[in-house]
Structure 1
Amino acid sequence: MLEITLALLLLLVGLFYVFMTWNFGFWRKRKVPGPTPRFLTGNYPHLYNMKRHVVYDLNEIYSQNKQQFDAVGIYGARSPQLLVISPQLARRVFVSDFKHFHDNEMSLMVDEKSDFIFANNPFILVGDEWKQRRADVTPGLTMGRIKTVYPVTNEVCQKMSEWLRKQIRLAPPEGIDAKDLSLRFTTEMVTDCVLGLKAESFSDKPSPIMGYIKELFTQPWTFIIYFVLVSTLPALRNIFKMRFVPLRIESFFVNLMQTAIDARRQQLAAGKQFERVDFLDYILQLGNKKNLDTRHLTAHTMTFLLDGFETTATVLSHLLLLLGRDEQVQQQLREELEAHLNAKGIIDFEKLNELPFLDACVQESIRIFPPVFMSNKLCTEPIELPNKKGENFTVERGTTVIVPHYSFMLDEEFFPNPQAFQPERFMQPDAAKKYREQGVFMGFGDGPRICIGMRFAMTQIKGALVEVLTKFNVRVNPKTRTDNEYEPTAFITTLKGGIWLDFEPRQ
């Protein structure tokens, strides 16, 4: 009996091994070179233990193959993926061959039944649905509307300064959490600009909005486990879909949206004209035009909220970190800002977007800490591609294509001394655009699916920097690590251990 039991166990182990490795000939059959995958993890050795951020594993493959190939075949567990090595090919994926790589892989993991809000985000939508939604949302983010709500930016900046002074008086030995500071700022900004409501993020009794946002972007381990499972069994994506926005958070934002709509309509009914033509004004017009209910209006609005809270706060906090590390760059930027302050101590909207060193500092920070460190695209139409020293190959419909933005932006070949904060890299006219056209800088993506909130985010970040640097000196607290290592489990790029800063009021 023992022998039979052992034999059955060995048979099961053998079958499991065959199942996990059966697909490992996928790329070899298609004449696509690539590193040898490992049992269970494929080409992601830290897939299960999460001891190191996934981007470092991809970067090793990139570094080993960039002189020989434009792309290599790799495996997530047992799922084949095409890793783009050449920035020129990356540019093709996003721009010139966009119709062949139209959709994002995450679209396979979400539907309206599992997550109504996230399924209606342009990032998830596919084909004509994406095209229509982008066309619906984009007019709400014109420079004219951004300029209209710019005074809100300045009001929130003043609240941030008052909050910082209060925190300084408390003198926390570990410094101030820069991510918390930045998230308070973006929460107050986006809630007011998008919904016309106050989040009270800098008060002693903030509204629940910020708490829900933090919860939303602090995903449970079940989220990571889901990704591991669908890498092992891709068919699971057809059976089990993911919920990114928990039901209680969805309910909160639907109710919040209804509150904003009711408040705005009461103003209009009372004959009061709202003082600005903001994003909510546009969304309400769109809702009337398309006969959308509150849930659909919330889904449209969450495009602004999801894209505006966390990613913008991430960029701002990392930029404060980099400026805190370099007093010389900080002072150089401060001098540029102070030279353009008006009588109210702010910089006019038109001038804000014309300051070269300010823009260079933001772009350089995004290069070192890209919020989106890689893109997982889907091949939507078959295409034949060359492969430098390898043979031509065909990418089949449904293939996952990975573009490792981190690898291009932190490559010594394109950016000498890549871990160093050197804003002068972006001081040449249209430097960011030129880098993007080379395929080596995609801080906001590229092509038709480039981030629609890019200009709004840049205005927020720059406005906050004007306030902080003209009112405070920024230093890095010893609690903060000195390198740029990423948090292993972070969905959006985050410095491991957090960013802790000391602020000193300027006289």
Structure 2
Amino acid sequence: MLTEILIFALTSILAYYWYVYKKIHNHFKERDVKFLPGIPVFGNAYKSTCLKRHLMYDLEEVYTAFPDERYMGYVEGTKPVILVRDPELIKKITVKDFDHFLNHTDFFTQEMEPLFSLTLIMMKDDKWKDMRTSLSPAFTGNKMKLMMPFIHEITNNIVDALKAQNGKDVNLDDIMRRFTTDVIASTAFGLQVNSLNERDNEFFKCGQNLFNFNTFQKIYLFLCVQFPIFTKLTKLRLRPTKTTKFFTDIVTSTMEYREKNNVVRPDMIHLLMQLNKGTLESSNSNPEKDVVGFATVQEEMKPRGKTREWTMPEIVGQALTFFIAGFETTASTATMCLHELALNPEVQEKLYEEIKNFSETIGKLSYENINELKYLDCVLNETFRKWSAIVMMDRVCTKEYELPPPHEGGKPYKLRPGDLVYNIVNAIHMDPMYYPNPDVFDPDRFSEENKPNIRPFTFMPFGMGPRACIGSRLALLELKMLFFTLILHFKVMKCPRTKDPIVLAADDFNIKCLGHTWLKFEPRS
């Protein structure tokens, strides 16, 4: 009897998935939208789901299959998604008609991640608008300038740690993630941590728990995405409660201590305290000078005055936002950039000459002069282009919207509330139509002479529009200070374990080299 029940259940599940599989195909066919069929249950994401390749390559496969389309269908498991490849249409969705596409998709439900749902990344509609406008003054240039001493101290720590290796091969993935953890601990949580020496400190371990999923967590996440009701029935958390409790306790106890003892430290905790009191205001700054690099995102949400009271969990959620947004993306960019510099010694030498001349003629790095390192900006921009941490910009349609025909002679596509749109990023960055010889690491693409040739909305490392990354200035500042110090002190070299060319690891949504990035740092005389 049990065997018959299991056979019936399995047959029903397979029949359901086959029905959904064909329904999605018919959905696109009826609307004259081209698509690749994919595989039942997994859709076009089969290879990345089964850890055969990185998700970026799944998206790129669909992108390159239809070079003449403005957009095409992407089958994500049991969901039809519109994959946008036309820069002009991306501009409409992310900027011009943004009010139709306010929200991100729910990668995690509130039941799975109660605190994560309160972050700026996952907030929705008017609540997101209020938080974004309330929080944007925390990321102006004048605020970032005050955090430079904290970042400088941590860059010195990494120099000491690399010198201690005495030329040994180092796992750069580990080092860079410890570096970004320490920067966030200092600038966002007001803690002085040296994860390069104190390798098992609690802050670093809890930070790792936010990003590193074990096999059970990955299976649970897959089941919840495929069967949303599964989350409500099980009521299980994706991450251990003690992890989010750790960050909650840090924020609340630090704020209470500072309030009680009248302590002021110019970090994110202080800015969140001002946000909590409704006293966080923008300092006067010139938008043209408040740019840390070509990739800087200009804030598009205008202040609307104090709009609502924020609860303590919501305040803590924004501290978590800083960790989520600044830990992995900055670490992966730094790692991939150093990997490319090791593979391209002529680029590294040119960068070293600029940094050395700057150090000898100007001396100390400051917020006012950091943008004078033109080639450093080019190197980072080329890293952003080739290895963008943002694979795509997801947007959920919030009110009906009509897309233009996907091709000449086609018919418009009507999006309804809840429909999902992916604005592709990496595939556009690697499209030879916009960047000839895209596999070549060539920072001169972003020289002052060549910048005017870059087509708008073909370079989007921090996203575009009001939903773009709020912390682009902090990320660029952190990266430039790091590279200024590292390249001045070390020659970055390949070692026997260095991958050439770089191939992305398939077991992580983030951008990481397969087998890690292993390099050697030789002190400069």
Q: Deviations over 1:121-152 (max 9, x none)?
A: 11111110111111122111111111111122
Question: Which residue number in structure 2 is paired with residue 288 of structure 1?
Answer: 277
Question: Which residue number in structure 2 is paired with residue 277 of structure 1?
Answer: 266
Aligned pairs for 1:186-335 within 5 A: 186-204=180-198, 207-226=201-220, 228-229=222-223, 232-233=226-227, 243=237, 245-265=239-259, 267-268=261-262, 274=264, 276-289=265-278, 294-335=312-353
Report the Cα offset of residue 300 of structure 1.
2.1
Give the 3 Å change call, closer, same or farther, for CA 474–353 of structure 1 in structure 2: same
Check conservation: 1:79, 1:231, Cα contact below 8 A.
no
* 2:414 aligned partner, one-letter code: T
Size of the aligned set, in residue pairs, is 491
Distance 1:439 1:475 in 2: 34
Question: Which residue number in structure 1 is paired with residue 157 of structure 2?
Answer: 159
Identity %: 26
Distance 1:98 1:9 in 2: 43
Give the 3 Å change call, closer, same or farther, for CA 313–48 of structure 1 in structure 2: closer
Give the 3 Å change call, closer, same or farther, for CA 57–14 of structure 1 in structure 2: closer
Residue 391 of structure 1 aligns to a residue whose secondary structure is coil
> TM-score if structure 2 supplies the norm length?
0.86
The match for 1:179 among 152, 173, 184 is: 173
* 2:88 aligned partner, one-letter code: Q
Q: Deviations over 1:88-121 (max 9, x none)?
A: 22222211121222111126x422x542321111
Give the 3 Å change call, closer, same or farther, for CA 47–78 of structure 1 in structure 2: farther
* 2:393 aligned partner, one-letter code: S
Q: Deviations over 1:236-276 (max 9, x none)?
A: 677778855531111111122234224433542xxxx64x5
Distance 1:20 1:48 in 2: 18
The match for 1:493 among 504, 507, 511 is: 511
Structure 2: state its 5+ residue gaps.
279-307
The match for 1:388 among 386, 407, 411 is: 407
Check conservation: 1:101, 1:378, Cα contact below 8 A.
yes
Report the Cα offset of residue 46 of structure 1.
1.6
Aligned pairs for 1:17-56 within 5 A: 18-24=18-24, 25-46=26-47, 48-56=49-57
Distance 1:189 1:337 in 2: 22
Give the 3 Å change call, closer, same or farther, for CA 498–422 of structure 1 in structure 2: same
Question: Which residue number in structure 1 is paired with residue 492 of structure 2?
Answer: 474
Q: Deviations over 1:137-191 (max 9, x none)?
A: 21111111111111222221112111111122xx54xx11112221222222221
Report the Cα offset of residue 8 of structure 1.
6.2
Report the Cα offset of residue 395 of structure 1.
1.6
Check conservation: 2:221, 2:238, Cα contact below 8 A.
no
Check conservation: 1:79, 1:234, Cα contact below 8 A.
no
Q: Deviations over 1:309-349 (max 9, x none)?
A: 22111111111111111111111111111222269954222
Distance 1:7 1:497 in 2: 41
Give the 3 Å change call, closer, same or farther, for CA 380–355 of structure 1 in structure 2: same
Report the Cα offset of residue 297 of structure 1.
3.0
Distance 1:5 1:193 in 2: 57
Structure 1: state its 5+ residue gaps.
none
Residue 411 of structure 2 aligns to a residue whose secondary structure is strand
* 1:160 aligned partner, one-letter code: I
Report the Cα offset of residue 222 of structure 1.
4.3
Check conservation: 1:477, 1:502, Cα contact below 8 A.
yes
Give the 3 Å change call, closer, same or farther, for CA 78–154 of structure 1 in structure 2: closer
Check conservation: 1:77, 1:228, Cα contact below 8 A.
no
Check conservation: 1:115, 1:242, Cα contact below 8 A.
no
* 1:246 aligned partner, one-letter code: P
Check conservation: 1:179, 1:498, Cα contact below 8 A.
yes
Question: Which residue number in structure 1 is paired with residue 358 of structure 2?
Answer: 340
Give the 3 Å change call, closer, same or farther, for CA 235–388 of structure 1 in structure 2: farther
Give the 3 Å change call, closer, same or farther, for CA 417–19 of structure 1 in structure 2: same
Report the Cα offset of residue 477 of structure 1.
2.1
Check conservation: 1:486, 1:495, Cα contact below 8 A.
yes
Is 1:93 matched with 2:93? yes
Check conservation: 2:18, 2:40, Cα contact below 8 A.
no
Q: Deviations over 1:61-99 (max 9, x none)?
A: 2111022x1111232223211111322222222111212
The match for 2:141 among 132, 139, 143 is: 143
- Aligned alpha-carbon RMSD (Å): 2.8
Check conservation: 1:65, 1:85, Cα contact below 8 A.
no
Distance 1:406 1:28 in 2: 27
Check conservation: 1:371, 1:492, Cα contact below 8 A.
yes
Report the Cα offset of residue 424 of structure 1.
0.5
Report the Cα offset of residue 470 of structure 1.
0.5
Report the Cα offset of residue 376 of structure 1.
2.4
Is 1:59 matched with 2:78? no
Is 1:83 matched with 2:77? no
Distance 1:430 1:236 in 2: 52
Check conservation: 2:54, 2:506, Cα contact below 8 A.
yes
Question: Which residue number in structure 2 is paired with residue 420 of structure 1?
Answer: 440
Is 1:399 matched with 2:415? no
